[in-house]
Amino acid sequence: MAGITDRPFRQLCREQGAGLVVSEMVTSDVRLWGSRKSRQRLAHDSEAAPRSVQIAGGDPAMMAEAARMNQQLGAQIIDINMGCPAKKVCNKAAGSALLRDEQLVGQILAAVVAAVDIPVTLKIRTGWDREQRNAPRIARIAEDSGIQALAVHGRTKADLFNGVAEYDTIADIRQQISIPLFANGDIDSPAKARQVLDYTGADAVMIGRAAQGRPWLLGQIAHYLSHGEQLAEPDMASQRDIMLGHIRALHTFYGDLQGVRIARKHVGWYLKTLPGAEPFRKIFNRIECPKEQQQGINGFFARVMEGGLAA
């Protein structure tokens, strides 16, 4: 997820139990890779394996070149984004906009697979809109093109993130392809993960928004799927330590100025379910110093654990 699954968050998700993490979406236009944002997204070689890097674009040759260059930079898996519904992506005939052109989809997939000697995976939605749910055809094109695994979000491009995800299309895809299939969309608990896997026949679940502010959900799901046992939510001290470790990593990775700003949105997600969090969140969002951010979090949790904050 662009702006979210940066290196500090990916590292945290691994620590919390994720089996595979994928980088933020990187443009296939290598002419734009000189920006600070792109440089931060393109450093892969020092991360733990397997390193999956997601690329987006609508031109087969540019996508192939982006894949080659990312492999040289340390990527071990290339993930192609044909699922993003954002206007700024779809307006450039990329992301889920590509689902309207099955011929171009095939050309892009074939070009990228031929360009690298590492696995290539694909992320899609169920179609452009509810009248054009062509994901099963896209899935067959993907398998025929050499794609090694497919992730499907149970909404169309037109749905954005509204309504509820549907899994019938994913179940249909499972009957038509033999490569690994990941189900995605509205999976926010271990029980929901088990339900979706049983219903669709998918091989794994992919978690997105539900991990924002709750990265421990990944380990809870993995444990439940392996052992059938529900793990309790982390206690307040554990949640505090996870949050502090995360924002320290953000400060280190981005530097003080940018790190402080990026920490604000992540801390906002962490605080959503905690008592008395809204007044503290407003205060936290005005803090400009990394050390003061850490002190603020310590103080907030001290008050929560002492019972000094009401829900």
Residue with tokens 């969140």: 281
Q: Determine the 3-state secondary structure of 252 from DSSP.
A: helix
**Can you tell me the distance from the alpha carbon of 147 to that of 140, in angstroms, rounded to the nearest whole number?**
10
DSSP state of 211: G
> 88 burial class (0-12, 13-18, 19+ CB within 10 angstroms)?
exposed
Please list, in sequence order, all residues whose beta carbon lies within 8 angstroms of the beta carbon of residue 95, skipping any fewer than 6 positions away.
56, 81, 82, 83, 84, 85, 86, 89, 157
Residue with tokens 């059938």: 228
Task: Give the CB-side neighbour count of residue 129, counting CA atoms within 13 A.
Answer: 2
Alpha-helix residue ranges (DSSP H) falling in the chain:
7-15, 36-42, 60-72, 87-90, 102-115, 135-145, 168-174, 190-200, 217-227, 236-254, 256-271, 277-284, 290-305
Q: Determine the 3-state secondary structure of 74 from DSSP.
A: coil
Instruction: Find, among 202, 94, 118, the residue nearest to 153 by Cα.
Output: 202
Q: Which of 13, 84, 90, 289 is catalytic?
A: 84
User: For the chain, how long is the longest CA-to-CA vector?
Assistant: 61
**Can you tell me the distance from the alpha carbon of 171 to that of 243, in angstroms, rounded to the nearest whole number?**
37
**Can you tell me the distance from the alpha carbon of 214 to that of 210, in angstroms, rounded to the nearest whole number?**
7
Let me know if 84 is a catalytic residue. yes
Strand order in the sheet with 26-27: 26-27, 52-56, 77-82, 120-125, 149-153, 181-184, 204-206
Catalytic residues: 84
